[in-house]
């Protein structure tokens, strides 16, 4: 059963199916069907290191030499799934991404997009805005990202990016 | 108040949930929707020629649209749920109440197709459902930017109850909720409301209950 | 290629109460089939190329097979006991292995988390030891002396009780449970899960019940069981791996899972592998 359907109590993650709970290190702490049993150390789930870098959650692929990059002056606004690859997003934005960052100029302002491919035809897009932007500017950035997604998905669907 | 009800119907659940949250006791009349198709039988068609449930009866008043039922329950027992403090807010509530019908027609129909074998063009239904979820996600993001957790205010209103069930049950129709972080936060906020009740397919937040103590395993 | 041993088994393919001459199009293990009412009042089932398939009517359902069943459909003697209410719960489709659907039905440890405040509730999570056997004479898996604390064991239950259970697997995709019958101590309520395998990862599930309960309206009985089953549905659709692993090692069983262990072993021994995965594949 997928643990993402589970629940967190205190510092433990429990599975929704039989309630087995796990510590941060991945070892099983409790099997509710056998309350008196101390779960053997062999019962564990795979764990994934994560790091919070300025409000963005990062996971390493392989063993990177350095920690996650920091983006000064911007703050994450929202994450979106785009049914298109990065090339289609680049075409829609009319500019190239550099090191996973795409600066999309729209209506006289620039929205910074952090891109992570999810397979071949899908991209996870994190929208970053100026730290000191006000709510109206943030809403405008969110809408700009929606517009870009529409265009990129249209590009991907009509296959002009290839 | 008498509710013609089906346990697996998200539209009926809206009314049960609203009643639970506003402290109204409903007289539940179970309808054999599946497998019996009782909602298309003579007794229920006489009440609602459209052949849908829920149906809410209170004296002479007969309501056959769940959004109207939510408004009726709120107006009767807990007007703060109406969300009509200002013109803009009242209109926003109406906007989402109307929007909720698109959820029924897309995500709801996909669920009936996948779960109870109803006919339908599943790809088209899922595509319409996904489009609606994206609109909802964007709307919730904008609310959060303004510091509000719910659709029309920082407090839940009938709009949230109208939209919540079909959204929460989208995976039943094969539409994933994984791409929508703002919807996830909103769904958790709704499930954390005092008096929240669940329906099959919508789990309560087990985290709201404390971990049983180690010696608590004894029956 | 070895012949799929499950081909010769009986499977539920529709409700008798919904049979008509018009027919119902469905599928059995990947093959499109059609189920309809014959002029003589019997059920007629035809396969993909129009060939006539075996058919029988029992326990509220039409049963059929793609192969040549060597035995009549398993017996549920309680079904003919006078005074029982027979409940057609109706079909629910689930995107999961048919074997996973049966295994979940045999599991009680999930009650407090998935059927919270109905079939279980924290802190009453403990599964006491029970007995499991493969009855060689009948070639069935049985679990007996199972018990669990339940806040609302049946529609007719008044408050929490410790419920006694027996489980039985007479066919690879069918299971029958016997549980404490609140209005009639000394008798067992019969609740079944009949699973129609559409594909290895898709099934139509037909729960059915034979209960002693003269009070509860039929619709309430149906809704109670649909509630329970649809609570399981999202769990079943999110199992990993999707196919049921028959070799030990992929999943960690505890004492609470002995019924499942016996079921998997029994499936493997018979080569009932439609919807299963073998590590050595
Ligand atoms: N009038 C709408 C209808 C709600 C609705 O679609 N109800 C479904 C059950 S969840 C229904 O009755 N469908 C009729 C059918 O599928 O035959 C409302 O109250 O929101
Ligand atoms: S599958 Fe997660 S606790 Fe059993
Ligand atoms: Fe269950």
- Supply the CATH number for residue C19's domain: 2.20.25.680
Is residue B163 within 8 Å of B103, Cβ to Cβ? yes
CA distance A4 to chain C (A): 10
| Cα(C126) to centroid(ligand 2), Å | 15
Domain with residue C202: its CATH number is 3.90.380.10
Q: Report d(CA A7, CA A10) in Å as an integer.
A: 10
Q: CA-nearest residue of chain B to C95?
A: B114
Q: Report d(CA B198, CA B185) in Å as an integer.
A: 17
Same domain, C60 and C108: no
* Residue whose pair of structure tokens reads 């609302």 in the numeric block: C152
Same domain, C242 and C191: yes
pLDDT over 50 at C107, yes or no: yes
**Using a 6 Å cutoff on CB, does residue A57 contact ligand 2?**
no
Strand partners, C75: none
Q: Inter-chain contact A35–B211, Cβ cutoff 8 Å?
A: no
Q: Which domains does chain B have, with CATH numbers?
A: 2-79 (3.40.30.10), 83-216 (1.20.1050.10)
pLDDT over 70 at C210, yes or no: yes
Query: Any idea of the CA torsion for B207, B217, C108, C86, to the nearest 10 degrees?
Result: -100
Q: Which residues of chain A have pLDDT under 50?
A: 161
Is residue A4 within 8 Å of C238, Cβ to Cβ? no
Same domain, C93 and C166: yes
Q: For chain C, what is the domain count?
A: 2
Same domain, C197 and C238: yes
Q: Which of C263, C256, C261, C260 is nearest to C148 (CA)?
A: C256
| Secondary structure (H, E, C), chain B | CEEEECCCCHHHHHHHHHHHHHCCCCEEEECCCCCCCHHHCHHHHHHCCCCCCCEEEECCEEECCHHHHHHHHHHHHCHHHHCCCCHHHHHHHHHHHHHHHHHHHHHHHHHHHHHHCCCCCHHHHHHHHHHHHHHHHHHHHHHHHCCCCCCCCCCCCHHHHHHHHHHHCHHHHCCCCCCCHHHHHHHHHHHCCCCCCCECCECCCHHHCCCCCHHHHCC
C16 or C182: which carries more pLDDT confidence?
A: C16
Q: Which of B219, A1, B203, B165 is nearest to C115 (CA)?
A: B203
- Residue B189 CB: number of other CB atoms within 10 A? 15
Least confident of A158-162, C180-184, C199-203: A158-162
Among C73, C88, C107, the domain-final residue is: C73
Q: Inter-chain contact C230–B115, Cβ cutoff 8 Å?
A: yes
Q: Return the pLDDT at C249.
A: 80
Give me the domain span that covers residue C253.
78-277
Q: Kindly indicate whether the domain formed by A66-158 is annotated with CATH number 1.20.140.
A: no
Q: What is the ipTM of this complex?
A: 0.95
Ligand nearest to the CA of C115: 3
Same domain, C169 and C265: yes
The vertex-C224 CA angle with C218 and C230, nearest 5°, equals: 130
> What average pLDDT does the segment C95-108 reach?
98
Q: Return the pLDDT at A133.
A: 95
- Max alpha carbon distance in chain A (Å)? 64
Q: Contacts of residue C233 in chain B, CB cutoff 8 Å?
A: 115, 172, 200-201
CA distance C91 to chain A (A): 23
SS3 A69: coil
> What average pLDDT does the segment B173-196 reach?
98
Q: Return the pLDDT at C144.
A: 98
pLDDT digits (tens, 9 = 90+) for B121-174: 999 999 999 999 999 999 999 999 999 999 999 999 999 999 999 999 999 999
Give the β-pairing of C276-277 and C140-150: unpaired
Q: Report d(CA B55, CA B97) in Å as an integer.
A: 17
The vertex-A150 CA angle with A145 and A154, nearest 5°, equals: 145
Q: Return the pLDDT at B64.
A: 98
Same domain, C191 and C110: yes
Nearest-atom number in ligand 2 for the CA of A3 is 2
Tell me the two tokens of residue B144. 């959060």
Q: Inter-chain contact C122–B216, Cβ cutoff 8 Å?
A: yes
pLDDT over 70 at B176, yes or no: yes
- Residue B133 CB: number of other CB atoms within 10 A? 22
- Phi/psi of residue B92, nearest 5 degrees: -65, -40
Same domain, C104 and C43: no
Topology of the domain covering A1-47: N-terminal domain of TfIIb (2.20.25)
């Amino acid at each position: 059963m997928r643990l993402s359907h589970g629940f967190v109590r205190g510092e433990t993650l429990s599975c929704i199916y039989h309630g087995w709970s796990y510590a941060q290190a991945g070892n099983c702490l409790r099997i509710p069907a056998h309350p008196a049993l101390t779960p053997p150390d062999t019962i564990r789930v795979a764990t994934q290191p994560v790091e919070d870098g300025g409000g963005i959650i990062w996971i390493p692929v392989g063993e990177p030499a350095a920690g996650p990059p920091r983006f000064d002056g911007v703050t994450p606004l929202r994450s979106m799934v785009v049914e298109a690859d990065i090339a289609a997003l680049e075409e829609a934005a009319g500019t190239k991404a550099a090191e996973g960052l795409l600066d999309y100029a729209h209506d006289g302002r620039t929205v910074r997009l952090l891109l992570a491919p999810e397979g071949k035809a899908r991209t996870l897009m994190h929208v970053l805005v100026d730290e000191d932007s006000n709510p109206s500017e943030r809403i405008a950035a969110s809408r700009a990202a929606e517009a870009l997604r529409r265009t990129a998905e249209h590009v991907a669907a009509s296959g002009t990016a290839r | 108040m008498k509710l013609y009800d089906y346990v697996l119907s998200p539209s009926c659940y809206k009314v049960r949930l609203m009643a639970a949250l506003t402290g109204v006791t409903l007289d539940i009349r179970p309808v054999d929707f599946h497998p019996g198709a009782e909602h298309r039988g003579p007794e229920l068609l006489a009440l609602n020629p459209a052949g849908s449930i829920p149906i809410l009866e209170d004296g002479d008043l007969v309501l056959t649209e769940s959004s109207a039922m939510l408004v009726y329950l709120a107006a009767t027992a807990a007007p703060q749920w109406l969300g009509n403090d200002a013109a803009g807010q009242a209109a926003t509530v109406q906007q989402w109440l109307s929007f909720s019908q698109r959820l029924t027609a897309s995500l709801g129909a996909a669920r009936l197709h996948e779960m109870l074998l109803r006919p339908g063009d599943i790809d088209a239904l899922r595509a319409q459902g996904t489009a609606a979820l994206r609109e909802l996600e964007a709307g919730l993001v904008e609310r959060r930017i303004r510091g509000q957790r719910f659709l029309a205010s920082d407090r839940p209103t009938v709009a949230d109850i109208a939209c919540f069930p079909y959204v929460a049950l989208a995976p039943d129709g094969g539409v994933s909720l994984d791409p929508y972080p703002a919807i996830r936060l909103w769904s958790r906020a709704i499930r954390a409301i005092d008096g929240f009740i669940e329906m099959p397919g919508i789990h309560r937040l087990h985290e709201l209950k404390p971990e049983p103590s180690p010696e608590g395993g004894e029956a | 290629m070895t012949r799929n041993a499950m081909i010769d088994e009986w499977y539920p393919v529709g409700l008798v109460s919904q049979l008509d001459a018009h027919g119902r199009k469905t599928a059995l293990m990947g093959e499109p089939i059609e189920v309809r009412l014959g002029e003589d009042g019997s059920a007629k089932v035809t396969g993909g190329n129009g060939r006539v398939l075996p058919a029988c009517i029992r326990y509220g359902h039409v049963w059929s097979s793609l192969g040549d069943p060597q035995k009549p459909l398993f017996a549920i003697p309680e079904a003919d006991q006078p005074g029982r209410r027979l409940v057609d719960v109706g079909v629910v489709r689930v995107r999961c292995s048919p074997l996973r659907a049966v295994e979940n039905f045999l599991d009680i440890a999930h009650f407090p988390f998935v059927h919270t405040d109905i079939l279980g509730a924290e802190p009453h999570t403990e599964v006491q030891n029970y007995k499991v056997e493969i009855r060689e004479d009948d070639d069935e898996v049985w679990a007996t002396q199972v018990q669990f604390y339940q806040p609302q064991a049946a529609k007719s239950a008044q408050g929490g009780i410790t419920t006694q259970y027996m489980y039985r697997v007479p066919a690879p995709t069918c299971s029958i449970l016997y549980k404490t019958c609140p209005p009639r101590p000394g008798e067992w309520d019969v609740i079944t899960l009949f699973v129609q395998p559409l594909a290895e990862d898709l099934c139509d599930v037909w729960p059915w019940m034979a209960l002693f309960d003269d009070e509860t309206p039929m619709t309430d009985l149906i809704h109670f069981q649909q509630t329970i089953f649809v609570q399981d549905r999202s769990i079943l659709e999110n199992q990993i791996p999707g196919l049921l692993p028959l070799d030990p090692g992929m999943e960690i069983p505890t004492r609470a899972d002995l019924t499942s262990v016996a079921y998997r072993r029994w499936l493997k021994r018979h080569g009932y592998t439609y919807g299963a995965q073998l590590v050595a594949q």
